[in-house]
Amino acid sequence: MANFEKINVSTAKKSLAAIVTVLMFIAMVVPLVGAATVETTVVTATPGNPITVTAGTTTIVNFQISLTAGGKLDSRITESTPATTKVQTQYYLTDGTASSNTWSNPIQFYDSANSVATKNNVVAASITVDATTPAGNYQVDVVVDTPTNPTLTPQANANQLLSLPNTPGKILIHVVEPSDPQVTTDTTPPTITAPASFTFEGNTLGGANIPATLSLGAATAVDIIDPSPVVTNDFTGGFVALGQSLTVTWTAADASGNKATATQTIIVIDTTAPFINAPATASVVVNAPKTALTATAYDIVWGTVEVTSNAPEAFQPGATTVTWTSTDSSGNTATANAQVQATYNFIGFYSPVGSGLTSKAGSTIPIKFALTDYYGNYVTTATATITFAKVTATGLGVAQGAAAQGATGFRYDTSSNQYIFNWATPKTAGTYQLQVALNDGTLHTVNVTLK
């Protein structure tokens, strides 16, 4: 016999299933060959080890079973209907091809005359494996089948009701060809394959808190005798430092107590970049140092991490794109951009314009203002475009060029640290808006009324 058959465990047929404790197995091999002398071989097995019989012969497997009870064992079992159905055991044989074969007749746990449990609740039972049973591994579930709506009534001297747990007893039967070795003891452990190892992303300072509810996958276990080895693991979760691993040990145990182990590894890694807290836009004064802008970065595993930028040593007039960069100790890098506008400190307009002026149309009006940088120093190199437009009931009229720095009448006066432009006003009366557009991207206006 090269391969073992897969065994399916059978289930009890009625709703109140009760365990029987398999106290002892005694296998008696009884070949049935016409009227020839019957040779009987007695094999004693312990629970969980297989009974080995030879295919082509008829074998009777004898054993003892008992109800499990707490306290005294003289409780009475009374049926809700006349004694037409008895508390009985049933045996079912299953292999890889047959779903259920009954091998013996039911037996009773109490006598029908008095409906009293058999003395000590122990009953001898047997299973007959007939000569047509093919070679293979079989499992017999020993269950107690109860009558419909049974009532368990304690005797006056009983401490408690009869206990009927719900786990079936199990007998393993190994049917072999005559040429196969006769195995009576199972000392071979199962084979077990652990689920694949995997990585777990760091989620707290220094490593990861791995939850006990984490799905690990499923281990597989196969045993040459026991169709359903019990598989367990020692995983409880917990904190694991970054770069370290948690080893999960999986154990498979067969019905004979043989065990095998396999391991699975969970490695804590960090692939998450830091988070940069920086403004998306910012304004500074011209010549502000790069330190005028600040940002912070935080990493879920490393905590506070350094953040740097490509900001210039001194911001020049206009817009600059600044890129912030932060890299944690695992090599994960994050970036964030900020649009920075650097502007002058505008001081003006000076007298006579001030915040507004009324003057004669066609006259010349001096327009004066000053500019300073981040440190309060006067700026002497700014450029500007000066225009004016008539204010109408519906808005501004068409803007007209007034001057540009370097043109006649527009200059920087070093003695007063002011920009001066002598505006030759239009000869048409009305209100005009004077506009000074600086090279920092800002626009400064003042209204002048001409009469």
pLDDT of res. 19: 31
A 10 A CB-CB count for 418 gives 19
Q: Coil, strand, or helix at residue 289? A: strand
Q: Coil, strand, or helix at residue 121? A: helix
DSSP string, 176-187: E-TTS-------
Q: Coil, strand, or helix at residue 225? A: coil
Domains along the chain? Answer: 17-176 (2.60.40), 191-269 (2.60.40), 275-343 (2.60.40.10), 345-450 (2.60.40.10)
- Alpha-carbon distance 113 to 92, whole Å? 28
Residue 377 DSSP class: P
Residue 13 DSSP class: S
- Contact present, 16 and 161 (Cβ < 8 Å): no
- Contact present, 402 and 388 (Cβ < 8 Å): yes
3-state helix, strand, coil in the chain (%, to 5): 0, 50, 50
Q: Coil, strand, or helix at residue 292? A: helix
Between β-strands 198-201 and 259-269, what pairing exists: parallel, antiparallel or unpaired?
A: parallel
- Alpha-carbon distance 91 to 93, whole Å? 7
Q: Coil, strand, or helix at residue 119? A: helix
pLDDT of res. 63: 59
DSSP string, 301-334: TTEEE--EE---SBPPSEEEEEEEEEE-TTS-EE
**pLDDT in single tens digits along all 451 residues of the chain:** 333 232 222 322 222 233 333 333 333 333 323 333 333 444 444 455 567 777 777 776 665 555 443 322 233 333 333 333 333 334 444 444 443 444 333 334 434 444 444 444 455 556 666 677 777 766 655 544 444 444 444 333 333 333 333 334 556 666 677 765 554 568 899 999 999 999 999 999 999 999 999 999 999 999 988 889 999 999 999 999 999 999 999 999 998 899 999 999 999 999 999 999 999 999 999 999 999 999 999 999 999 999 999 999 999 999 999 999 999 999 999 999 999 999 999 998 999 988 888 889 989 899 999 999 999 999 999 999 888 999 988 878 777 776 554 445 678 999 999 999 988 889 999 999 999 999 999 999 999 999 9
Run of H or E residues at 145 = strand 136-145
Structure tokens at 261: 């182990």
| β-strand partners of 230 | 253
pLDDT of res. 341: 97
pLDDT of res. 354: 85
Run of H or E residues at 62 = strand 59-66
- Alpha-carbon distance 90 to 116, whole Å? 20
- Residue 272's alpha-carbon distances to 61, 194, 308, 334, in angstroms, are 64, 28, 18, 9
pLDDT of res. 373: 97
A 10 A CB-CB count for 37 gives 6
- Alpha-carbon distance 218 to 232, whole Å? 10
pLDDT of res. 17: 30
- Alpha-carbon distance 166 to 153, whole Å? 19
- Per-residue burial over 173-208, b if 16 or more Cβ lie within 10 Å, else e, is bbbbeeeeeeeeebeebbebebbeeeebebeeeebb
- Alpha-carbon distance 350 to 421, whole Å? 11
Beta carbons within 8 Å of 34's beta carbon, 6+ residues apart: none
Among the listed residues 89, 92, 84, 93, the one whose alpha carbon sits nearest the alpha carbon of residue 118:
89
pLDDT of res. 262: 98
Q: What is the pLDDT of residues 155-200, one digit of tens each?
A: 333 333 333 333 345 566 666 777 655 545 688 999 999 999 999 9
- Alpha-carbon distance 208 to 237, whole Å? 10
| β-strand partners of 335 | 325
Structure tokens at 180: 């196969």
